[in-house]
Structure 1
């Protein structure tokens, strides 16, 4: 079996020691090539070439951003039975996708699970989401949550480490001084012409959780699944009291937000969100730019994962 290991040396918890142990372990089971990413977008290029070269398994050692790039490269030419299977060894700060699959958050323990699955040729097909022409594995967001991620990424460029404390400070700073809360700007359009106006931020989940607050899962929905369509959560406004209640429900009570200021859909095949001006967009916890119109789609059985 031919396999490609893609490592991201910039991922938060990826170390050269972990990389060497993983290489040694994988070479006992597969014909292994190893590649290291050097820039944003490099993992997608490597994955697309691996598909063209007939590689059967692509192994990610990195965080959710690395996994997202690999998926986009693997599926750049569409979903088919020629797409390699995806294996994940967590090496980032949150590792939401790997943990949503039920993998241990420890890289060595996850390697043990991966080796057993490779020996038994064990895979599982999962559904993915798509935002316009970009795939995502577990979540997407337009508005405030993406603005927070953008702020964190800018802090990391300046040398900060992606910690829970950094996300908390960035959330308060973005909400209080960086986000336009004057009026809702987003409209939701569902198939058949149904329109919902007056939304201020939108979060889309392909599975649970949305992310982790330290060890605690944080989620806007408890029904999203790799085996179902997309779930949507939206805020009808960002009034301080309503936003504070939603934040407390998420972070302190560890449950999905509710109330009159919220709007949600579950198990959707597709929908479109339109903003009166471009807003920040995030996919799988990475800021990907601004957009004023995003079509979200659910694609069942889009990729096989080694489990």
Structure 2
């Protein structure tokens, strides 16, 4: 086949990265059910490639190769964890992956068919969760918009990590770490994760710096959430002013919260009204740097997560990369 033919074919390739074990196996089952409709409606205009993940981080490898091959789109089929890995496949060594030489054309777009436990990014856009017909409609229409991408940098981690939804630290990140162990219980896993995290939780004084300004000590931090979009934890509207198209991050910090505060104020976290309460601060930033106040006896156990995935521990830097990717809406 001539090189031009190869290039033309690659530009029509839609690579669907499927986590068949997602949502206790429901993702794989739903994917099989939608395949006939997908082939019928989308297969006329592009080449559909199915790529099933076999374990953690596999989606990163699949997505990265698809971008290098010049695919028109890479579509994450699953929950926020699958989307997180596919997103990170668009980056390598801190830079956007480029298509291989000889494959010119439009940039590879990122797409999503939400079929996971949380699907919090889909909530941000008001999509009907697990509605395969609506998902196919979006892909067929092919409307794209440049979306902002959040970045997390940990000094002890040589690889930058990227997120579309919400990153966070301390209690919320620790709760997400434990919640991942109970995914078989559906959204109940977030409640169990939070209860388990609280058992060993201590509010901590942390040093923070926004947009390269002065360092300040924020006392008794319970959790700090850094939102590119609004939702996390299976529907909590934690950063209600966040917008993945405005070039900024919304930072919400909860301070000096006790376990009973969460019980009494849980409804405000889902409604997004918690930002008006005492002991909660909110700010719009481009960068946020966070580190522990020196205390050797407790150093090294402040969790950091993004899109529900455990990344490591403080110190950490969060930043925004405006209009970084074409996203299929």
Q: TM-score, normalised by structure 2?
A: 0.80
Equivalences for residues 23-34 of structure 1 within 5 A: 23-25=38-40, 26-34=42-50
Once the two structures are superposed, what CA deviation does each residue of 1:67-118 show, in whole Å capped at 9, x if it has no partner?
A: 1101111122524785410111111012111232343313322333234323
Give, in angstroms, the shift of residue 241 of structure 1. 5.0
> Does 2:144 match 1:123?
yes
Look up the match of 1:37.
53
The structure 2 residue matched to 1:3, chosen from 11, 14, 25, is 14
Cα pair 1:218 1:255 within 8 Å, conserved? no
Cα pair 1:87 1:114 within 8 Å, conserved? no
Look up the match of 2:328.
306
Look up the match of 2:244.
226
Residues 11 and 241 (structure 1 numbering): CA distance in 2 closer, same or farther, change over 3 Å? closer
Structure 1 CA distance, aligned partners of 2:168 and 2:97?
Answer: 27
Give, in angstroms, the shift of residue 293 of structure 1. 0.7
Cα pair 2:274 2:280 within 8 Å, conserved? no
Look up the match of 1:279.
302
Give, in angstroms, the shift of residue 239 of structure 1. 3.2
Give, in angstroms, the shift of residue 285 of structure 1. 1.5
Which secondary structure does the structure 2 equivalent of 1:14 belong to?
helix
Structure 2 CA distance, aligned partners of 1:225 and 1:126?
Answer: 9
The structure 2 residue matched to 1:155, chosen from 182, 186, 194, is 182
Structure 1, unmatched stretches of 5+, are none
Once the two structures are superposed, what CA deviation does each residue of 1:34-53 show, in whole Å capped at 9, x if it has no partner?
A: 11000100000111111111
Residues 131 and 162 (structure 1 numbering): CA distance in 2 closer, same or farther, change over 3 Å? farther
Q: What is the Cα-based RMSD across aligned positions, in Å?
A: 2.3
Give, in angstroms, the shift of residue 20 of structure 1. 5.0
Equivalences for residues 90-169 of structure 1 within 5 A: 90-118=114-142, 122-132=143-153, 133-156=160-183, 161-169=184-192
Once the two structures are superposed, what CA deviation does each residue of 1:175-208 show, in whole Å capped at 9, x if it has no partner?
A: 1x232x2x51422112122423322321111111
Once the two structures are superposed, what CA deviation does each residue of 1:23-64 show, in whole Å capped at 9, x if it has no partner?
A: 524323311221100010000011111111111111111111
The structure 1 residue matched to 2:31, chosen from 6, 18, 22, is 18
Structure 2 CA distance, aligned partners of 1:169 and 1:59?
Answer: 31
Q: Which has the larger radius of gyration?
A: 2
Look up the match of 2:228.
206
Number of aligned positions between the proteins? 290
